[in-house]
Amino acid sequence: MCAHVTDAKTGEIFFSQKSWKEYESVLGHVKHDCLSDPQGVNLYHKDENSPIRCIRGTSQLECFHAHIRNIFKGYHYNVESSILMVAKFIHGLNHDRSAERGLIDESYRYIYDGWLVEERQTLGKS
């Protein structure tokens, strides 16, 4: 199917031997139902806080992925723009978490521009 597709700029094959090994590994998990809910077991229920909850719980990573999906509401992003958008989101997330944990002063919580933080710190010293 797409085994021998090449990059128009570099001429390199998209799917290296390493990529195919990874693909086979994931496919093995799919074939053995490692990624599916067990048959006959209802893992989902409704509660007051959320329309549907899973008894396995929700990880922080799932929440992170939900935010990432919201960043890319359109389909027309080049690689550079995508990387910048994700980097900006992660910077803001880390910044907020640092404020929550007291690693940075709370007054800087919603100031994501490093230059502004530095300027405020400099003004505060004088």
Q: Which amino acid is at 37?
A: D
Q: 35 pLDDT exceeds 80? A: no
Kindly report the pTM of this predicted structure: 0.45
Of the candidates 93, 85, 90, 122, the residue with the CA atom closest to the CA atom of residue 110 = 93
3-state SS assignment for residue 28: helix
- Cα–Cα distances (Å) from 15 to 24, 25, 27, 77, 82, in that order, read 12, 14, 15, 22, 21
How do 53-54 and 44-45 pair as beta strands? antiparallel
Instruction: Answer yes or no: are the C-beta atoms of 71 and 86 closer than 8 Å.
Output: yes
More confident residue, 9 or 74: 9
- Residue 55's pLDDT is 67
Average pLDDT over residues 15-22: 84
Query: Domain locations in the chain?
Result: 58-125
**pLDDT tens sequence across 66-122:** 777 788 777 677 888 888 888 888 888 888 888 888 888 878 788 888 778 778 778
* Section 30-58 average pLDDT: 72
Radius of gyration for the alpha carbons in the chain, expressed in angstroms and rounded:
22
Q: Look at residue 46 in the predicted model and tell me its pLDDT.
A: 74
Q: Which of 37-41, 55-59, 71-75 has the lowest mean pLDDT?
A: 55-59
* Neighbour count for residue 85 (Cβ, 10 Å): 14
Give yes or no for residue 126 having a pLDDT over 60.
no
pLDDT-derived band of residue 6, with 50, 70 and 90 as boundaries?
confident
